[in-house]
Amino acid sequence: MDLGNVVEDIKARLDIVEVLAGYIDLKRAGRNFKALCPFHSEKTPSFVVSPDKQIFHCFGCSAGGDLVTFVMKYENMSFPEAVRALADRAGIRIEEAPAGTSAAGNLRKRLLEMHRDACDFYENELRRNARARDYLRKRGLSDGTIDEFSIGFAPAGNVLLGFLKAKGYAESDMIASGLCKETERGRLDTFRNRVVFPISNIRGEVIAFGGRTIADNARGPKYLNSPETLLFKKSSELFGLNLAKAEIRRRGYAIIMEGYLDVITSHQYGVRNSVAPLGTALTDAQAGRLKALTKKVLLVFDSDDAGIKASERSLSLLYEAGFVAKVLLLPKGDDPDTFLRKHGRDAFQRKFRDVLGLVDFFLGLHGERVDIVRSLLLIISKVPDGIIRSDLTREVSEKTGLSEQFLREELNLLRKNPARIRDDGNRSQPMSAERFLLGVYLSYPEYVDLIRESITPGEIEDPEVRGIFEKLYSSSAAVLGEVAHRLDEHELAVATGAAMGINIDSEEVERNIKDCIRTIRNKRLRRRLRDLELEIRIAEKRGEAHLINNLQDQMNLLIKEGGG
């Protein structure tokens, strides 16, 4: 059965207020209900439930979603498990429901046991497979390192499936674990003919695997991770953290690398405070995992375009999360794995003399100078620590020749919120015109066509809001419930926050839409004018008179077009 259709049936039968009242103490606050947030510690209620929109949003930690999302988060359930639990409550029958999945705690215990058994199985298979052992030795891994990381081998065929059946595991649990999968050809092992690397949580419990092909002409992706399960959320875990945590505390900083073998090799060579994301860009949740151990990070990525982009994104995320971070770019063609094997630990540590701070890294990038400075200032504007923000501003001034006063004016503009609204608890909340427009879009379906005709996603500067609008515009979705399944957890929090923040009279909706669009376009105009002003100042420092005249002409034209 299509679980998406089941969700709509559930929402038609169950009221979010009634369901959540069974978990938390809800109090009426105007048209909404409020409670202390169950997902973070607080003394003043900031968790709001809207019976009209059938969504919740916490204005403290930004958690948000519908009743399915709440049950998933509160009960630590997967999407199918939450849907099945709510369907049962709503009296909706789902055919062929997997046995034994109603109790998330018991299932979690079984999945952990299954992963331990699978890890032992893979390790035994590696001992029996000379080709896989030869591959690891060619990658420079010692027997001790292979044992420390519990590296194994997944043979061809469906051998693990048979092994787990013999151990007495239910096939439904094997599918829930991600170790096996349903296909048109039946149930198959997820990992076949691959070297496998166990992925553990910070407590050292195996919760997933990563697999790499050992044949050059193998079909399928070179690297493969377990699918997301009750145990495993790829965006929340860091490879090697369980083994690196003690050294991170001892050294006072963490090294973030790109891949499994980078981390494994670095540990073998004594660089044991290194970890890696799981094949994706660094996330807020992964940064949160580190924050309990340290607030200092060294990024060691490749010096190719992908590595540079990854460094840019990671620096932005880390500084906004309260970290201080630096970058070490290795020579072209090298990553930590290859560099350490070619040159050794001492040479690797000597490279630490070449680390770049935030300002030096950005000012060394290729591209338009004004765009680089603008990107740098945007990151600095989000730094929560005022002292660090001030030090970075001073460093930018010293290395660009731009006055600190001008830079501080730029930062104040970037930090300033253009609009403020109120929630039903009478607590002022900041909301930009772009987020306000998103809230209107999600709250008043009858005005969707007007918004679509009046503004394009490309005119939205906030990348989070722009991404949500792109998903909305690419579908027929007009309300949050229809598009929620297409949004990731962070996007869903942004969307629910915007929708919950709307509190306007119905006859004022169209005027508010037009005001928002006017504000968005005026802000874009002001931004472009400030960019031109910054370009002019940089050109003045360089004595480029012809360029200054050209930029002045562009500025005058924009002012004329904007009616200023």
What's the mean pLDDT when you consider all of the chain? 85
Mean pLDDT to the nearest integer, 473-502: 76
Q: E strands along 245-392, which residues?
A: 254-256, 274-275, 296-301, 324-329
How far does CA 357 lie from the centroid of its chain? 23
pLDDT of 182 above 50: yes
Indicate the class that CATH gives domain 241-356: alpha beta
Distance separating alpha carbons of residues 510 and 371, to the nearest angstrom: 35
pLDDT in tens, 103-145: 556 888 899 999 999 999 999 999 999 999 999 999 999 999 9
Q: How far is CA 263 from CA 71, 115, 272, in A?
A: 36, 22, 8
Q: Which CATH architecture has domain 417-564?
A: Orthogonal Bundle (1.10)
Per-residue DSSP letter, 446:
G
Q: What is the pTM of this model?
A: 0.63
Mean pLDDT to the nearest integer, 191-207: 92
Distance separating alpha carbons of residues 152 and 172, to the nearest angstrom: 24
C-beta neighbour count of 227 within 10 angstroms: 14
Distance separating alpha carbons of residues 326 and 551, to the nearest angstrom: 34
Mean pLDDT to the nearest integer, 80-105: 68
pLDDT in tens, 523-550: 888 878 888 888 888 888 778 888 888 8
pLDDT of 69 above 60: yes
pLDDT in tens, 287-340: 888 877 888 999 998 888 888 888 998 999 999 888 999 999 998 889 999 999
Alpha helices in 382-447 (DSSP H): 386-400, 404-415, 433-443
Fold of 104-232: DNA primase DNAg catalytic core, N-terminal domain (3.90.980)
To the nearest whole percent, how much of the chain has pLDDT over 90? Answer: 39
To the nearest whole percent, how much of the chain has pLDDT over 70? Answer: 91
pLDDT confidence band for 5 (50 / 70 / 90)? low
360 vs 552, which has greater pLDDT? 360
C-beta neighbour count of 515 within 10 angstroms: 15
Please tell me the predicted confidence (pLDDT) of residue 112.
93
pLDDT of 95 above 50: yes
CATH of domain 3-90: 3.90.580.10
CB 179 within 8 A of CB 190: yes
pLDDT in tens, 388-409: 999 999 999 999 888 898 888 8
pLDDT of 429 above 70: no
pLDDT in tens, 223-253: 899 998 989 988 889 999 999 998 998 999 9
Q: Kindly report the backbone phi and psi dihedral angles of residue 50, in degrees, each rounded to the nearest multiple of 5, phi listed first.
A: -105, 110
pLDDT of 74 above 90: no
Q: How far is CA 56 from CA 46, 137, 219, 259, in A?
A: 11, 53, 44, 37
Antiparallel, parallel or unpaired: β 152-154 and 194-200: antiparallel
Domain ranges, ordered by start, for the chain: 3-90, 104-232, 241-356, 370-415, 417-564
Altogether, the residues listed in the chain come to a count of: 564
**Are 241-356 and 417-564 in the same CATH fold?**
no
Per-residue DSSP letter, 98:
P
